[in-house]
Structure 1
Amino acid sequence: MNEVTMRLNGLVKTYLKGTPGEVQVLRGADLELRAGEAVALVAPSGAGKSTLLHIAGLLDTPDVGSVEIAGKTVNGKGDRTRTAIRRQDVGFVYQFHHLLPEFTALENITLPQLANGVSEKAAQDRAMSLLDRVGVAPRAHHRPAALSGGEQQRVAFCRALANTPKILLADEPTGNLDPETSDQVFDALMALVREEGLSALIATHNMDLAARMDRKLRLEGGVLRPVE
């Protein structure tokens, strides 16, 4: 059995606590994510997908419940420890690429590695290898503004995987693209996930894309339920 890379147990998250507008977004959400599997997270807008991903990626904390990343329990850990775990073990992809506009595609992928203590030569080699695998190597020295939307998002995938994380969290990673480009970009993402042996939790409204993953979960009423 593949190892559990992420375990979420009993997550509860409430916004505007104690006010008339109080909203309980998560009500005891549980999840185990195993090495090598891609899991689709589906839910209507406002159901709490982004909240769940932010807690899973240590960008937010639950009111109740625990988070375990790569065998490390992070409850009660300080910001420095949480940042170190996130930088080492978790990669993020968002609907919008959020690439640094003043840097080239290659530099956008190299910089996170340099911040993690990797040598410049090794960082550039890793960046070029990733760009080559998603078909954007010929555009390595172009800035984001000179890239198409699909190319920008592929570079964002590469950046997320630059530091060889164990877990990839993606929030509507193709939601800003037209259907044809979305399919192509999603294929590139899944190829990277499989080649790197990652665990991936990918939020999407697109049920065709969700069907191409190993299993599907629906966030409904603040809890996660399997989708048959």
Structure 2
Amino acid sequence: MSEAALRLSGIEKGYLRGTPGEVIVLRGADLEVAPGEAVALVAPSGAGKSTLLHIAGLLDTPDAGEVVIGGEAMQSRSDRRRTIARRREVGFIYQFHHLLPEFTALENIVLPQLANGVAPKAAGERARALLARVGLAARADHRPAALSGGEQQRVAFCRALANAPRLLLADEPTGNLDPDTSERVFAVLMELVRETGLAALIATHNLDLAARMDRTVRLDHGRVVEAA
């Protein structure tokens, strides 16, 4: 059996800790995501989905518990090592694409590769290959303002995959799109997960999309439970 791409063990997180107004968001949350598996994360707004994703992606630290990515426990690692792991091992997709408006679609995908030490020529070749894979080869030199919402989100997918991460974290990636565009973008996302062997944890309010993933988990009073 292969090593889990992501394992969260006993994750706890609260805000305003030690004060009368303390809010506990996660209470011993446990979760594993295997390579090539797409897991839907569903919960009401404010239940802690984004907090869980940020902790899983090393953007935030838990108050207790352990984050293990590709077999490496991250809590005891230095800030530098966590930053490197986040850059190399994790790809992020958000509801709003957050593309850099002054750069072209191609450049938005090249830049994270350059930050990871990839040579410019190789970075450009990978960026073009990813754009072609999602049907945007002809839009490589367009800036985000010249792209539709669905096209922008597909560029964001490519950017998330630019450094060939083992883990993809998506926070409502189709939540800002109309139904038809949402369907097309979701199909591309799932194809990329299947073909690359990524582990994907996707927070969504769309129960129809969640049902098409490998399994669904939900947050219940700060714990991760399998959805019925």
TM-score by length of 2: 0.98
Alpha-carbon offset, residue 76 of structure 1: 2.4
Q: Distance in 2 between matches of 1:115 and 1:11?
A: 30
Q: Distance in 2 between matches of 1:122 and 1:14?
A: 43
- Residue 107 of structure 1 aligns with an amino acid whose one-letter code is E
Gaps of 5+ in 2: none
Q: Distance in 2 between matches of 1:2 and 1:212?
A: 23
Matches within 5 A, 1:93-172: 93-172=93-172
CA contact (8 A) 2:3 2:71 kept: no
CA contact (8 A) 1:42 1:219 kept: yes
Q: Distance in 1 between matches of 2:134 and 2:220?
A: 34
CA contact (8 A) 1:36 1:197 kept: yes
Percent identical residues: 72
Q: Distance in 2 between matches of 1:155 and 1:40?
A: 22
Q: Distance in 1 between matches of 2:213 and 2:12?
A: 26
Alpha-carbon offset, residue 178 of structure 1: 0.7
SS at match of 2:97: coil
2:27 alignment partner in structure 1: 27
Matches within 5 A, 1:83-98: 83-98=83-98
What is the CA RMSD across the aligned residues, in angstroms? 0.8
- Residue 20 of structure 1 aligns with an amino acid whose one-letter code is P
1:7 alignment partner in structure 2: 7
Q: Distance in 2 between matches of 1:105 and 1:64?
A: 39
SS at match of 1:182: helix
Is 2:227 aligned against 1:211? Answer: no
Q: Distance in 1 between matches of 2:24 and 2:164?
A: 34
Alpha-carbon offset, residue 210 of structure 1: 0.3
CA contact (8 A) 1:106 1:140 kept: yes
1:222 alignment partner in structure 2: 222
SS at match of 1:46: coil
TM-score by length of 1: 0.98
Alpha-carbon offset, residue 70 of structure 1: 0.9
1:187 alignment partner in structure 2: 187
CA contact (8 A) 2:16 2:23 kept: yes
SS at match of 2:117: coil
Aligned length: 228
Q: Distance in 1 between matches of 2:99 and 2:64?
A: 33
Superposed CA deviations along residues 147-185 of structure 1, whole A, max 9, x for unmatched, are: 000000000000000000000000000000011110111
CA contact (8 A) 1:2 1:36 kept: no
Alpha-carbon offset, residue 21 of structure 1: 1.9
Gaps of 5+ in 1: none
